[in-house]
């Protein structure tokens, strides 16, 4: 049975599809195709059925990532089939925890940037400062320009590599 990861943002057109396609590429590169399934959704259904924001598509394409996305809304029933639900900011984390049917399901929810390797500047800070949820948000680029999408991609790439190491350990543990 594959290990299943779902990335969640607000409308599923900017951050979560970006995280989905970046993480999927890392999964493929690591040779975990078929062992890890990657998906994304939004906490709200405003954009259901729409493609990813054109700026998301452009940033992904310009950085060598594929994307073929249709937005959808996260459903509480999905918790039963998911191993890990990755929120892109603290608001998504709270919304997902409210949707979780059981404490076990709530325990599956994590912030993406909680996996990021600390920068030299943040490594010098106290761990409690680094671990604060609001310090771990991937900012919503929707209302800004391309630079916000590029910054978002940088944050997603950094955290995705560290997340991959954790997921790989789980997958190898299941195989043992």
Q: Which of 6, 14, 15, 105 is catalytic?
A: 15
Residue 15 appears among annotated catalytic residues: yes
Q: Which of 9, 14, 105, 152 is catalytic?
A: 9
CB of 113 within 8 A of CB of 157? no
**DSSP labels for the chain?**
--EEEEEEESSSSSHHHHHHHHHHHHHHHTT-BTTEEEEEEESS-TTTT----HHHHHHHHHTT--------B--GGGGGG-SEEEESSHHHHHHHHHH-SSHHHHTTEEEGGGGSPPPHHHHTS-HHHHT-GGGG-----TTS-HHHHHHHHHHHHHHHHHHHHHHHHHHHHHH-
Location of structure tokens 């073929």: 68
The encoded tokens of residue 35 equal 């062992």
Q: Which of 44, 133, 135, 140 is catalytic?
A: 140
Residue 9 appears among annotated catalytic residues: yes
Residue 140 appears among annotated catalytic residues: yes
Catalytic residue set: 9, 15, 140
């Amino acid at each position: 049975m594959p290990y299943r990861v779902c990335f969640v943002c607000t409308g599923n057109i900017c951050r979560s599809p970006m995280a989905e396609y970046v993480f999927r590429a890392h999964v493929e590169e690591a040779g975990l195709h078929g062992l890890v399934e990657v998906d994304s959704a939004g906490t709200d259904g405003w954009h259901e059925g729409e493609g990813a924001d054109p700026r998301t598509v452009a940033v992904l394409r310009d950085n060598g990532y594929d994307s073929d996305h249709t937005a959808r809304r996260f459903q509480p029933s999905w918790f039963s089939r998911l191993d890990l639900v990755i929120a892109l900011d603290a608001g998504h984390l709270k919304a997902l925890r409210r949707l979780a049917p059981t404490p076990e399901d709530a325990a599956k929810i994590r912030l993406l940037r909680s996996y990021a390797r600390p920068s030299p500047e943040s490594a010098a800070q106290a761990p409690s400062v680094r671990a604060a949820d609001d310090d771990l948000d991937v900012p919503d680029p929707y209302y800004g320009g391309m630079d916000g999408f590029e910054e978002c991609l940088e944050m997603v790439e950094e955290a995705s590599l560290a997340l991959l190491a954790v997921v790989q350990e789980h997958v190898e543990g299941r195989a043992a």
